[in-house]
Amino acid sequence: MKAFPEAFLWGGATAANQIEGGWQSDNKGISTSDVQPNGVMGKMEERIPGKENLKDTAIDFYHRYPDDIALFAEMGFTCLRVSIAWTRIFPSGDEREANESGLAFYDRLFDELAAANIQPLVTLSHYEMPYDLVKRYGGWGSRKVIEHFEHYAKTVFTRYQHKVKLWLTFNEINMSLHAPYTGVGLPEQSEKADIYQAIHHQLVASARAVAACHEIIPDARIGNMLLGGLVYPLSCHPGDILQAMQENRSWLFFGDVQARGSYPGYMLRFFREHNIQIDMTDQDQKDLSHTVDFISFSYYLTGCVSHDETINNKIQGNILNMLPNPHLESSEWGWQIDPTGLRILLNELWDRYQKPLFIVENGLGAKDRVDANGKIHDDYRIHYLNDHLVQVREAIEDGVDILGYTSWGPIDLVSASHAQMSKRYGYIYVDRDDDGHGSLSRIRKDSFYWYAEVIRTRGLSLQQLK
């Protein structure tokens, strides 16, 4: 058994709209997340006057971040993934002058992390574009939004160039195929051609941000972020194998564009066969040549696909339209647990791109319970994370270059899919329920001490799979 590399980054991952709260503090504007009170899987709706949504306060990280960072430091974190709320910097998204109060908040946050020797990994846009950009321009359906995003990116690169050296552009950029409002600000029932045009604008904006980062912060690295939606063929039937290849390409195409700098031939064929005309200028193609430095991704589950439509029609409406794998167990939320799939995905991404990889989300959502002694015994989470990290180490032995691992939600937060507190991922329990009741006090779970030992020993404390 070998230790993880010394330079391997250990930590956790968060998103501003799921932890910060302070949804209108210091001149913050309204984001698309603020008008999705029921989460990514819920419908977009205008806010109800006088009614507080769970994310309005979330876990109040906006005011409690020093204490939370101290807990992360106690575990030995060397990296924390956070996102900047775009509407804290530009409340409407299209202003020319930035909101100084918002900039100052992230200065304080990054300074606190530096004092704890924790490196920030910063996502520019994590499911929370300014709502005014949706109302005024139609979201990413408008080419004008590219310029507004580029201005925002250049502003924060310039401001934090000495404090942040690791950046990501868009969180789970391929999620737009499944949740277009969350991803690109388009109505859920939008035409496929409109969604892909909006995605194109976002890909161009991502590439421009990469170029700006390289210019403004030459010693920084900037990556993309994919939802790792790996699927297997349901059987060895050639039709199933071909279907799996096509389904995987539907999300890998985002990485192909961001890592290789142009649209792959299979995607151009898809556009032709579906009568999709992408408005792509010569300048767009030049912009796309600015490729990312590394590939980051989330990994939670795998599934299966079939070429047989009578089988596909039995899918129970999960967001990724996957068939269940009969060989895997599932979590309380029906997400199939597949540690080996993480090793497979790491190898496939490495073989495909030959760029460093970063696992920036992975974890188990579960209903944790506080016992009579005020303790949380989450052996199920420890087991899940142990098995996945063992597979990460196997991938490293396979020769895959992996920068680090930031598990999702190191402290309990509001879940993205249905805006719940009851779906908990953290090593740290937050006393708040789905109705917003609770003291917001923090409690260390058993997994807190387990992860601290994993980090301290660089993975030597992991239990080898049987």
Q: Which residues are catalytic?
A: 172, 361
14 and 83 in contact (C-beta within 8 Å)? yes
Cross-strand partners of 125: 170
The per-residue DSSP string of 45-104 comes to -PPPTTPPPHHHHTT-HHHHHHHHHHHHHHHT-SEEEEE--HHHHSSSS--SS--HHHHH
Give helix 192-216 / helix 144-159 axis angle, nearest 10°. Answer: 30
327: burial class by Cβ within 10 Å (0-12, 13-18, 19+)?
A: exposed
Distance CA 356, CA 128 (A): 27
Q: Which two tokens stand for residue 373?
A: 């002694």
Q: Which two tokens stand for residue 86?
A: 């775009």
- CB count in 10 Å sphere of residue 264: 15
Distance CA 430, CA 409 (A): 11
CB hemisphere CA count around 197 (13 angstroms): 19
Residues in the chain: 466
Cross-strand partners of 303: 231
* Beta carbons within 8 Å of 351's beta carbon, 6+ residues apart: none
Q: Which two tokens stand for residue 256?
A: 């192909």
Helix (H) or strand (E) holding 121: strand 119-125
178 and 190 in contact (C-beta within 8 Å)? no
Instruction: Spell out a b/e string for 5-34, using b for 16 or more CB atoms within 10 Å of the CB, else e.
Output: eeebbbbbbbbbbbbbbbbeeeebbbbbbb
Q: Which two tokens stand for residue 183?
A: 């991803």
Residue 34 Cα to chain centre, angstroms: 18
Distance CA 200, CA 140 (A): 9
